[in-house]
Amino acid sequence: MDINLLDLVILVSLAQGFVFGLGILLSKAFRATPARLLAYSIMMIATIGLNIWLSRWGFDERYYFIDFFGDDVPWMLLYYVPLFLFFLESIQHPYRWSRRRLWLFLPFVLFLMLNIFINGDVDFEWYAVAEIERIMEVVYAAEFFGALAYSLLLCSLSYWLVWRGEDKNGKGVWLKKIWWISTGLILLWLLIVLLPSGIFGGDQSMDYIFWGAISGFIYWTAYKGLYQFKLPQTSPLPASPSPEPRPFTVENSHFIRLEKLMKKEELYRDPTLGRDVLAERLGISSGYLSQLINAVTGENITHYINNYRVEAVKKMIQDPDFSQYSLLALGEEAGFSSKSAFYTTFKKKVGMTPNAFRKQ
């Protein structure tokens, strides 16, 4: 097993990418769906890379676990799926709620079943299939080129989302950078496939270039997309209020920031949002936040959050673009965690059920 410095650098960067993505998924600071999808995307790329490099060093021949998850699970067919869903969520496209999103995973499921079928003969000898080696060649070739074509297709669809979609969150520049870099990686992958062996020093040299670019993408996304772009918004401030007097009025600086978080960032869409999370975002104590909201609005924190959720549902019901969605889907998008909470709160706030409001 010949391992050089470049191998170690790429392996470490891929491992760090996987651990970083996992850390984002486990962190309470990153509850927004786009952040989690971006983490899934990083983990998927890292998983593909780790499987390829571990197989290159022969680990797949010694450990069936690595062989199965490296060669038999068609991770490449999921290469662009999390990133495509990330674009859907980031621009708040209506299809981000649609169950049709599940069709994006169909190629992965189909080839996974085919690979398991092949393993039943080759690895476990449960049955004997005529010309199984020929079938393997066809399936593996179709999987590889299908993954490349599928990634190009999703990349093209993402172009229309990023460039043609409405920039509701003011993140258009950031999304375009992500699209350009991810597209460049796919085109580099295509170039490696099309180039004849021996150009640029052979396939191994091109692999170093490709996975070096992947490593750069992981580090750049980690810093620009999740650290620099996200963490400053969640950095804790002093836990106690400023010593300067801050009366409990609408002019209170903490209340102004709270309203901005609810109106601009739409935090109420998070079904797990509560007093402690809001207090952490504002850098104040939970007790102080409760007093502030009660004094300014006359309501508790739960009612304050639900007011925004109800208004969001009302706007979506009145918007023709959302007419094809069920009322329950609209309630879930607005942040309600259950059907009963949605219907009960809506009727209490509006004076009629969501269905009656839609008919009216």
Residues 161-197 have pLDDT tens digits of 888 765 554 566 778 888 999 999 999 888 887 876 5
Picking from 177, 200, 233, the residue at the C-terminal end of a domain is 233
* Total number of domains constituting the chain: 2
Quick check: 226 pLDDT over 60? no
The answer on 87 and 21 residing in a single domain is: yes
- Answer whether 0.75 is exceeded by the pTM: no
Q: Tokens 């052979």 identify what position?
A: 202
The answer on 266 and 189 residing in a single domain is: no
Average pLDDT, the chain: 82
Of the two residues 118 and 52, the one the predictor is more confident about is 118
Question: Quick check: is 310 in a domain?
Answer: yes
Of the two residues 5 and 15, the one the predictor is more confident about is 15
The answer on 172 and 229 residing in a single domain is: yes
Question: Quick check: is 244 in a domain?
Answer: no
Quick check: 71 pLDDT over 60? yes
Query: Under a CB-based contact definition with an 8 Å cutoff, are residues 234 and 72 in contact?
Result: no
Picking from 198, 233, 268, the residue at the C-terminal end of a domain is 233
Question: Quick check: is 240 in a domain?
Answer: no
pLDDT tens per residue, range 243-289: 344 567 778 888 898 999 898 888 899 888 888 888 888 888 888 89
162: domain CATH number is 1.20.1070
Look up the domain containing 290 and give its range. 253-359
The dihedrals phi and psi of 326, each to the nearest 5 degrees, come to -70, 160
pLDDT tens per residue, range 73-91: 999 999 899 999 998 888 8
Spatial neighbors of 249 by CB under 8 A, at least 6 apart, are 255, 295, 296
Separation between Cα atoms, residue 191 and residue 202, nearest integer Å: 13
How many C-beta atoms lie closer than 10 Å to residue 275's C-beta? Answer: 17
Least confident residue range of 91-105, 121-135, 189-203: 189-203
The answer on 212 and 77 residing in a single domain is: yes
Question: Quick check: is 239 in a domain?
Answer: no
What pLDDT sits at residue 284?
87
Quick check: 297 pLDDT over 50? yes
Of the two residues 200 and 359, the one the predictor is more confident about is 359
Sign of CA pseudo-dihedral 230, 232, 238, 243: negative
Separation between Cα atoms, residue 129 and residue 127, nearest integer Å: 7
Question: Quick check: is 28 in a domain?
Answer: yes
Long-range contacts of 321-330 (CB under 8 A, 24+ apart): 321/94, 322/94, 325/94, 325/97, 327/354, 327/355, 327/358, 329/97, 330/354
| DSSP output for 75-89 | GGGGSSHHHHHHHHH
Separation between Cα atoms, residue 208 and residue 304, nearest integer Å: 54
Question: Quick check: is 141 in a domain?
Answer: yes
Question: Quick check: is 238 in a domain?
Answer: no
Q: Give the pLDDT mean for 47-51.
A: 86
Q: Give the pLDDT mean for 38-45.
A: 89
What pLDDT sits at residue 195?
73
Sign of CA pseudo-dihedral 304, 308, 313, 317: positive
The answer on 224 and 263 residing in a single domain is: no
Of the two residues 113 and 230, the one the predictor is more confident about is 113
The answer on 41 and 9 residing in a single domain is: yes
What pLDDT sits at residue 10?
84
288: domain CATH number is 1.10.10.60
What pLDDT sits at residue 322?
85
